[in-house]
Amino acid sequence: MKPRPAPASLTDIALLSHGVRKGERAVLARAITLAESKRADHQHAARELVQDLLPHTGHAVRVGITGAPGVGKSTSIDTLGAYLTETGHKVAVLAVDPSSARTGGSILGDKTRMARLAVDPNAFIRPSPSAGTLGGVAAKTRETMLICEAAGYDVILVETVGIGQSETAVADMTDFFLALMLPGAGDELQGIKKGLVELADMIAVNKADGDNIMRARAAAAEYRAALHILNPRSTTWQVPVVTYSAMTGDGVAELWTKVLEHRDKLSKTGEFSARRREQQVKWMWAILEDRWRGRIASDSKLKAKLPQIEKAVAEGRLSPALAVDDILATLGW
């Protein structure tokens, strides 16, 4: 039987959908490129593609991963991902990077820092889109996540590259949010940001190897104590604090066991399904906000008028509230 030909164009939805569902890597990359494109016809085609693939999504374990610079995030993802592929999983690694939206940069370097996954046939690494607002970046990452799920990837690891808003964005699109911490970094509680811990489903202290083992355990004890005075993300789940080593792999299997325990426990109470439904609605609003911004940016009448409006607001001659009224009137809303 002759192999099905590769899609002739980015907008050949039927062929793209078939290739993605068969797990063809080249077609998967092409489908994600379509989802990330700014062209109006590509965006329309991407929406059709995601709709077509929707029945084949939703089965994967979605894990968000955050951590301070130097915590060993890429090495941790490489080690965890390699463990998962060795145990029969297919792993996709995605990233949400709001800094790229401002600078136009990308995190292609992460591929080189994930040496094992980069050459693993059961792994797929995709940097974040390099343009748009944070909401836009997050929305594209959601689409990429669904496309990867339809391609047969049963574990999706979503990395936060930036800080602050990106953590909330990733927590809003994943089932489990993992916060990576360092041992012995001075004040052990410096990584305990109230907002971050209220998002986290687990705290994992990295670099628990060699001379660092005792320091890692001490840091874990500090984090456990701090968690008692903060509000957890779920009343069903007691946030665990574990130690592991991305370098040696010690503790990684136990870390994954906790992820599965969380999924099992929240599934039994119905919270897992409720969280997924809530995320779908948040995705809808993120897309609406992104299109709203796009409409504002592309309106020629507003473009001509906006510099004067901004100048008047900056000089205190026009209140921001009246300025918004002016903008909406110009848009015909």
pLDDT score for 236: 86
Residue-wise pLDDT for 110-152, tens only, equals 566 788 999 999 999 998 765 555 656 677 889 999 999 999 9
Q: Which domains, from first to last, does the chain contain?
A: 1-56 (1.20.5.170), 57-268 (3.40.50.300), 284-331 (no CATH)
pLDDT score for 151: 98
> Tokens at residue 142, please?
């959601």
Residue-wise pLDDT for 5-44, tens only, equals 444 466 689 999 999 999 999 999 999 999 988 888 998 9
Q: Please state the rounded mean pLDDT for residues 229-237.
A: 79
Cα–Cα distance for residue pair 93/208, rounded to 1 Å? 24
Contacts of 238 (CB under 8 A, 6+ apart): 232
The pTM score is: 0.86
Residue-wise pLDDT for 189-212, tens only, equals 554 566 676 788 999 999 888 888
Residue-wise pLDDT for 157-185, tens only, equals 998 875 666 788 888 899 999 999 888 65
Q: Please state the rounded mean pLDDT for residues 311-333.
A: 93
